[in-house]
């Protein structure tokens, strides 16, 4: 069985018991679920003032955060949902790979890509096929991130997206800086969701 393993984790604050609501009337009780705080990596330097450096730095910070949140989870947990909405961590990773593809390759470059909405199944629900391995999804994510970095490096923030891909007249195409901000806020939201899922799974918290 595959286990996600991208980097070693370093323990930070001591483990503690988690307090949970255990009855319909809201009475709280302590259960034997250990919460372990991990040492968080540094954010991009606070001395940065250039918009490109800030956007590139924080996009990579959150891309890495997604991988950190999945590090150490067994395949069963990667494919299992712990939330009423039903999505799994592996489905979220595949979704983010397609977010990169839709906004940078298909969107900004108007590249004719395969299956720009390939993360969605019936009812627009995220999906991962039984034949798609953990390694497949991770490789897809890393490849799309690398392609997006190359696109950003070769363009100006004020450049507008090409037409003929995701964007077509009469709607005005977005600028690269708008696309980067949009993708950044999407990462921030999804990493927050993974924070909750990881704590529910094994008690690991941290950036």
Q: What confidence score (pLDDT) does residue 114 get?
A: 94
Mean pLDDT of 4-16: 44
Q: How many CB atoms lie within 10 A of CB 180?
A: 24
Predicted pLDDT at 12: 43
Mean pLDDT is lowest, of 4-13, 125-134, 197-206, for 4-13
DSSP 105: I
pLDDT tens digits for 135-177?
999 999 999 999 999 999 999 999 999 999 999 999 999 999 9
For residue 133, what are its two tokens? 């391995």
| pLDDT > 70: percent of the chain | 84
185 pLDDT higher than 50: yes
Split at pLDDT 50, 70, 90, the class of 113 is: very high
Mean pLDDT to the nearest integer, 108-134 = 96
Per-residue confidence (pLDDT) for residue 5, from 0 to 100: 56
Q: What does the DSSP assignment read for 26-88?
A: --EEEEEEEEEEBPPPPPSPTT---HHHHHHHHHHHHHHHHHHHHTT-BHHHHT---STT---
**Residue 62 backbone dihedrals phi, psi, to 5 degrees:** -75, -30
Q: Residue 133: which residues within 8 A CB-CB, separation 6 or more? A: 2
| Position 179 pLDDT exceeds 70 | yes
Out of 37-41, 123-127, 160-164, least confident range: 37-41
């Amino acid at each position: 069985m595959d286990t996600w393993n991208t980097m070693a984790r370093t323990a930070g604050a001591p483990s503690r018991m988690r307090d949970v609501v255990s009855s319909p009337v809201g009475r709280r009780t302590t259960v034997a679920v250990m919460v372990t705080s991990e040492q968080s990596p540094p954010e991009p330097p606070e001395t940065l003032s250039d918009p490109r450096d800030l956007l590139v730095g924080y996009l990579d910070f959150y891309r890495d955060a997604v991988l950190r949140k999945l590090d150490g989870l067994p395949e069963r947990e990667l494919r299992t949902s712990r939330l009423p909405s039903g999505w799994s961590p592996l489905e979220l990773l595949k979704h983010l790979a397609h977010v990169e593809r839709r906004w940078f390759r298909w969107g900004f470059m108007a590249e004719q890509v395969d299956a720009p909405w390939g993360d969605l199944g019936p009812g627009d629900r995220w999906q991962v096929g039984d034949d798609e391995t953990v390694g497949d999804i991770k490789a897809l994510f890393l490849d799309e991130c690398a392609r997006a970095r190359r696109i950003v490096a070769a363009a100006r923030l004020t450049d507008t997206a090409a037409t003929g891909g995701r964007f077509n007249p009469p709607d005005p195409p977005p600028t690269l800086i708008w696309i980067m901000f949009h993708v950044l806020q999407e990462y921030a939201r999804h990493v927050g969701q993974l924070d909750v899922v990881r704590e529910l799974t094994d008690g690991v918290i941290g950036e």
